[in-house]
Amino acid sequence: MTSPPLPEAWQRAEVPPLPAIGPEVVDEFARTIYGRTPEGGRLTELVLRSRENGVLDGAADRLRHHAVIACPLGDLELDTVTHLPAGASAEHPVPVVVALNFKSDEVPSAKVMKAGYAVLAVDYQQIEPDDPAPPAPGVRALFPTQTTETTDETTETTEPWGAVAAWAWGLSRLLDIADGIEGVDPAEPVVLGHSRLGKAALWAGAQDERFAVTVANGSGCCGASLFRHPGGEDIAAITTKFPHWFVSSFSTYAGNESSLPVDQHQLLASIAPRRVYVASAEDDAWADPIGEYLAVVAARPAFGTDGIGYHVRPGTHDLLEEDWLHALAFAKR
């Protein structure tokens, strides 16, 4: 599938001065932005609740599972939905895309199914509420609060992990679930997310080396877009509206992005040699699509041939069928 040509403004854009790509940046992203993901979370139960064959005009079968994940302070229960392409079976398994949905009734299109991937998804707020003061706690309440981290030389204060990190943790648990679904081959999985869930997909891809391809669509600030490229949402805006997404100290960089020890091209590069795909929309100004593109350009030296891909399409902030198809065509290469 041919990607749309780059708009003229993208072709003229220049990469700003950035921190160098190097090793050990994932720890810095955890400390500065997302928070450290704690160890733990074990799938203990997976029950098939229903199966509908021939949905999406015959292109797929729909499976609904109930999963129980044991955490240190209790169990997390998830109700997942898997769409299997028609013909997928234990004898003929298909690769899988794991994704978080904004709504429990979101479904992929028939054309996405015909691309040959199963899609395993769950409503993201089943994992962690998207609320700075939620009426009911999510998975973060099922882990003890770790306030210090001791190495051979130092003891460091550790801030609680943010909601983006919790959603990324959930994407890894979906991959655990995929391993127990007949007709799914979890060997070369894709993790995909849009908007705030694109941020979670990138953080999941950076931490979980089982993901072969990471796809971020319209992920913007704290996703694929560069902090050091002016335009779109900035740290002041995102930490004011969504303080629960990150470690609390991240807000101290508001208005002073140049002092951040990291930038998002480094997060993309940290996933190499596994593959990354970034997607933008021309009129999605708040996500700074040019900043997303420049992060891809800056990260390219970390990847081999065809290790990182990009497209920008006309339109606004959304995850469209064409975004899915471009990403899956890249994943198949």
Catalytic residue ranges: 195, 317
**Quick count: other Cβ atoms within 10 Å of Cβ 250?**
22
Pairing type for strands 148-150 and 155-157 reads antiparallel
Phi, psi angles (nearest 5°) of residue 331: -60, -30
The token duo for 255 is: 């208005």
Q: What angle do CA 34, 40, 45 make, to 5 degrees?
A: 125
Q: How far apart are CA 239 and CA 226, in angstroms?
A: 16
The token duo for 215 is: 């796809």
Cβ atoms of 151 and 239 within 8 Å: the answer is no
Q: Please, which residues have CB within 8 angstroms of residue 141's CB and are 6 or more apart in sequence?
A: 73, 74
Label each residue of 252-263 as H, E or C.
Answer: HHCCCHHHCCCC
Based on the number of CB atoms within 10 Å of its own CB, is 209 exposed (0-12), middle (13-18) or buried (19 or more)?
Answer: exposed
Cβ atoms of 65 and 71 within 8 Å: the answer is no
The helix (H) or strand (E) run that includes residue 28 is: helix 25-29
CA contacts within 13 A on the Cβ side of 305? 1
**Quick count: other Cβ atoms within 10 Å of Cβ 282?**
16
- DSSP states along 233-287: --HHHHHHH-GGGS-GGGGGGTT-GGG-S--HHHHHHHTTTSEEEEEEETT-GGG
